Copies of this chain bind each other. A is one copy, B any other.
């Protein structure tokens, strides 16, 4: 058995290494690829993806997984968790016919190109027929896992193991009831943020962001920070977790918040137990758990008063012309201004979940056949008005704003909102556990928070199913959206 297990681990490590090479092809594509090399790189990505798929679904791997019984290993052991995870993934992957995989690949490649054109023309109708085909294929994909209570469940499960549409509805219900009202109330407050709309030197913003993430605990010996159009985090193993960010001269805190957000993802990966490296357990417990870490550092930390108490003097010093006459309190209020707007990625803490719920409801409508793809733009605009009181100026900043649907990523969006909720729960657990947490942060002692997260969240990687991990941290298995609402109301009532 030990020999078989070692054989299995070698196969799994090989797949891990090839995935790392694939991730490097993709990282380099965003960061350093020469303009003329796009086609060559696309071919390389396709080829390597094919090799990885073949190895991940190989009969040899399947036989080893079959032979080894999770129950033969101690409860709570890494071996048992690894076998369970491998069984789950292998079974799921092998249920999908190769033909459907390649149809999806071709359809989404075409759809992505159409989405780019539609955005340029600000015309959703150019994208609608492609979306209809994707929805059809995603329905077929989901049906492979029938019976399921909702057609949405198997899709959601790809990102959030075990999560269901019914559970989502339960979790989102209080948000739907309270968040829109809260936003309307907060958005009426007078704004004083003109000083944020001056020009801020990009290199200085980047340098400041670099200093901050270093202070938060990001390990540059096992990572890098580079510039890209869209910020992201990628990992080539636990010793190489890279983040990227973007700089906008006229959005002075956007670079910082993006970098801290990605840093939150990276701290998670850098904190995983090295014993799990080169296995599928060497990643976050789920997409929502991953997002809980990026959002916690971005919102509960980098949009907080304690954070700016510590960092504002340095920030002000970097931008004396723009901020010399701006007090910490004015600055803090400006950074936390609530402005319902069209664009999800620029949304503040109070409005963010509304963007997600809108997308979730539309995805569900598309997949259940209640909303034809051809009519999606109208539904989008109506919901935007209902939830945020905003009507998009054009499809480009409306229904076409996100890339996800063009790539076939249905079931992904809800993990963003779940991440916010889990983040608030973990934040509460940290406040209960770490004495004087906020005072420590205001003194620049970010290590206390990182150590809490390392011990309670990060080190476990994907060893536990999300509800089990949540219970270990918070004492409750199911996600509790009330804690997020309480946090939000508390924060804004003090502003």
Chain A residues engaging chain B, CB cutoff 8 angstroms: 13-14, 17-18, 20-22, 24-25, 28, 32-37, 39-41, 43-44, 46-48, 50-51, 219-224, 236-240, 242, 277-278
Task: Name A28's contact: one of B17, B24, B47, B222 (CB within 8 Å).
Answer: B24
Q: Check A240 against B33 for contact (C-beta < 8 Å).
A: yes
Instruction: Check B21 against A25 for contact (C-beta < 8 Å).
Output: yes
Indicate how many identical chains form the complex.
2
Could you jot down 7 A-B contacts, CB within 8 Å?
A14-B47, A21-B21, A21-B24, A21-B48, A40-B236, A40-B238, A40-B240
Q: Could you tell me if B25 and A28 are in contact, using CB atoms closer than 8 angstroms?
A: no
Chain B residues whose C-beta falls within 8 Å of the C-beta of A43 in the assembled complex: 13, 17, 237, 278
- The answer to whether B37 and A239 touch across the interface, beta carbons within 8 angstroms, is yes
A44 to B28, Cβ gap below 8 A?
no
Bound Cα distance from A35 to B240, whole angstroms:
9
Q: A21-B48, A47-B18 are in contact. Are A39 and B224 (CB under 8 A)?
A: no
C-alpha gap A50/B51 in the complex (Å) = 13
Given the complex, which residues of B lie within 8 Å of A48, measured CB to CB?
17-18, 21
Selected contact of A34 from candidates B18, B21, B222, CB within 8 Å:
B222
- Which residue of chain B lies nearest to A19 when distances are taken between CB atoms in the complex? B44
* A40 contact set on B, CB distance < 8 A: 20, 236-240, 277
Given known pairs A25-B21, A28-B28, A32-B224, the reply for A239 and B39 (CB within 8 Å) is: yes
- CB proximity of A227 to chain B, nearest CB, Å: 13
Query: What residue in chain B is nearest A33 (Cβ atoms)?
Result: B240
Closest beta carbon of chain B to A234's beta carbon, Å: 12
B34 touches A221 (CB 8 A): yes
Chain B proximity of A385: nearest CB distance (Å): 45
